[in-house]
Structure 1
Amino acid sequence: MAALFLKRLMLQTLKTESNCIARCFVQQVVRKTPPAQLFPIASAPRLSCLIHAKASSTVTDTQDERKKKKRNDTVFSNTGRKISERIIHVVDENGNDLGHMHRADVIRLLDERHLRLVLRNARVEPPEYQLMTGIQIHQERLRQREIEKARPKARPTLTKEVIFSSNIGQHDLNTKSKQIQQWIEKKHHVQITIKKGKNADEPENKMEEIVHQILQTMPGIATFASRPQAIKGGKAVMCVLRPLSKKEETAYREALETQQRDTLHKDSGSDRESDAWHQ
């Protein structure tokens, strides 16, 4: 019994000593290890996040600077004394060309005449500036605003579609022609698809004749965006009509006026010949 008790006591003593030795070894390792090397995995993502955030901030700042510079180039405003170029081309308030001048001389001239400096053309070398009064700058802004309002705004082109058979009656064809003309006057494109009728005696070019008949109802208004072409193995014809451009409208009016003048001259010449014949 005493031997068993001594054996257990020895085992307990050895176990306690082992735990103490292990605890002391871990404490020595922790003290000698630098803090930056304890958690290398956790610090790496934090560094990458900082790099990414800095890069994103740089890209955003560059884009903002470009937008701001572009906005300042398009605005008609007083430059003041902030002249970035040493030599500039100057025009005075009366439109007289003063030639190339040093920016110090330009600033001195602004103070003497109580004028303001406006950038006129930054795409030439050296850039062109003009001396202006406050009233002139105000009037020029109003003029540019009116020009901007009068400028037509680009709108997306809409395409309408009409599909019917070549057996269509004349009344229905006139109705569709009027609808197509209304769309053309609203600056829309119109896609026309004419299917071949079931009549065996129908001419082969009847579908194209219908297309040209529709176009003839809109002289000086519409023309072909794409000419008639056979589709579905010749079972249908498709084309697209569009409104005339400003240039085409002007050319059409001039041709019409020339034709009317020629007709008048021809009629007056015929009248003179008939008068001479009667005499």
Structure 2
Amino acid sequence: MAALFLKRLILQTVKTETNCFGRCFGKHIVQKTAPAPLSIIASAPRLSFLTHAKFYSTVEDSQDERKKKQKTETAFSNTGRKISERIIRVIDEHGNDLGSMHRANVIKLLDARDLRLVKRSSSSEPPEYQLMTGLQIHEERLRLREREKAKPKTGPTQIKELTFSSNIGQHDLDTKSKQIQKWIEKKYRVQITIKKGKYVEEPENKMEELFNQILQTMPGMATFSTRPQAIKGGKATMCVLRHLSKKEEDEYRETQGTQKGDVLTKENGNENDRNSVVLQP
């Protein structure tokens, strides 16, 4: 009887522990695996596609480095003691070829003569450098700057347009002529269109005279790029003015100088004739 009671007590204890363990472990599993409650306000999606990302490109990077290197090499400046090559060819400040030298010897020469070193050519083998004074570098920079300014600009020529009637007043014509002159000074081409005045009898050459009158306000500066020609069935006349080229400006100055010389010669001749008449007994 006691053994039976003990057996039942053991079974009851095991059953109670099993149930307790199951409840506790099961609750833990439910808490871990249960989905989170949905929020009433949904969070806005992240706009990741708006983030700027630079793609890595070996070709692009190498081209940029090459451009920077070329720009650095072509710049006319003092290299100082930073000589990247071990052996270089050296030209002295007087233009004499000193031959190939080690960079250590070149630095010693710089210190001894108090000179600067400028790279002349990086494509030759070995690279060519020149010893120069500070004044020589300054003069060379000025010369290169003037040469750069003298190069013709490759950009497209801008065209300004101006339209007015043939019965324009003299004051308005003078104002428009000044505006045209400002454009010409800036090397613009100016397209001028003159319309025939309505209900006004005009001579046939009236518009051509207006073009010539405008051109005469800019002597030695402008000329016709396109001569006056009738457009719109003869209801208007159009021309294009442009700035004189360098050669045309020189020819104009020579012509003006020749004309002045002829006038002076003629005046001197007349003066001599008058004097000769006075001196006769």
Please give the range of the TM-score, normalised by the shorter of the 2 chains.
0.5 to 0.7
Q: d(CA) in 2 for partners of 1:83 and 1:118? A: 13
- Is 2:137 aligned against 1:140? yes
Give the match's secondary structure for 1:59.
helix
Matched, 1:113 2:114: no
Instruction: Return the offset for 1:248.
Output: 3.7
Counterparts of 2:107 and 2:165 in 1: how far apart (Å)?
79
Change (3 A) 1:217 1:261: same
Query: For 1:163, what is the secondary structure of its paired residue?
Result: strand
CA RMSD of aligned residues (A): 3.7
User: Residues 228 and 121 of structure 1: is their aligned pair in 2 closer, same or farther, counting only changes over 3 Å?
Assistant: farther
Contact 2:88 2:102 in 1 (8 A): no
State yes or no: 1:82 paired with 2:84: yes
- 1:110 partner amino acid: V
Q: Which amino acid aligns with 1:183?
A: W
Residue correspondence of structure 1 range 23-42 to structure 2 within 5 A: none
Seen in structure 2, the aligned counterparts of structure 1 residues 196 and 125 have a Cα distance that, compared at 3 Å, is farther
1:106-148 Cα offsets, whole Å, 9 max, x none, are 435314424564212457787542124xxx3587268627974
Which residue pairs with 1:19 in the alignment?
Answer: none
Task: Identify the residue that residue 13 of structure 2 maps to in structure 1.
Answer: none
Pair 1:260–1:125, CA change in 2 (3 A):
farther
Q: Which has the larger radius of gyration?
A: 2
Question: Which of the pair is proportionally richer in helix?
Answer: 1
CA contact (8 A) 2:226 2:240 kept: yes
Amino acid at match of 1:194: I
Determine whether 1:184 maps to 2:181.
no
The equivalent of 1:25 in structure 2 is: none
Task: Show the counterpart of 1:229.
Answer: 229
The answer to whether the 8 Å contact 2:110/2:117 transfers is no
Q: Deviations over 1:183-224 (max 9, x none)?
A: 334544322101123458533333222111110122123222
Shift of 1:247: 4.6
Three-state SS of the structure 2 residue aligned to 1:172 is: helix
Residue in 2 aligned with 1:38?
Answer: none
Which stretch of structure 1 is more off in the superposition, 215-224 or 250-259? Answer: 250-259
Aligned equivalents of 1:111, 1:271: Cα separation in 2:
73
Please say which of residues 71-80 and 216-225 is displaced more in the overlay.
Answer: 71-80
**% identical equivalent positions:** 53
C-alpha separation in 2, matches of 1:214 and 1:69:
52
Cα distance in 2 for partners of 1:228, 1:123 equals 54
Residue 210 and residue 123 in structure 1: after superposition, are their counterparts in 2 closer, same or farther (change >3 A)?
farther
Gapped regions of structure 1 (runs ≥ 5):
1-52
Report the TM-score, using the length of structure 1 for normalisation: 0.61
Structure 2 residue identity aligned to 1:144: R
Question: Number of residue pairs matched?
Answer: 216
Residue in 2 aligned with 1:64? Answer: 64
What is the aligned partner in structure 1 of residue 164 from structure 2? Answer: 164
Corresponding residue for residue 98 of structure 1: 97
Distance across 2 between alignment mates of 1:71 and 1:218: 42
CA distance in 1, matches of 2:123, 2:256: 43
From the superposition, tell whether residues 121 and 255 of structure 1 become closer, same or farther in structure 2 (CA, over 3 Å). Answer: farther
Change (3 A) 1:265 1:181: same
Task: Name 1:12's counterpart in structure 2.
Answer: none
Structure 1 distance, partners of 2:149, 2:122, is: 26
* Superposed displacement of residue 261, structure 1: 1.6
Q: Which deviates the most, 190-199 or 176-185? A: 176-185
Separation (CA, whole Å) in 2 of partners of 1:251 and 1:208:
25
Distance 1:121 1:253, change over 3 A: farther
Residue in 2 aligned with 1:41? none
Cα distance in 2 between the residues matched to 1:74 and 1:147 = 11
In structure 1, distance between residues paired with 2:237 and 2:221: 22
| Partners of 1:83 and 1:162 in 2: CA distance | 61
Aligned to 2:57, what secondary structure does the other structure show? helix
TM-score, length-normalised on structure 2? 0.61
How far apart, in 1, do the equivalents of 2:143 and 2:96 lie?
A: 27
Cα distance change of structure 1 residues 70 and 166 upon mapping to structure 2, 3 Å threshold: same
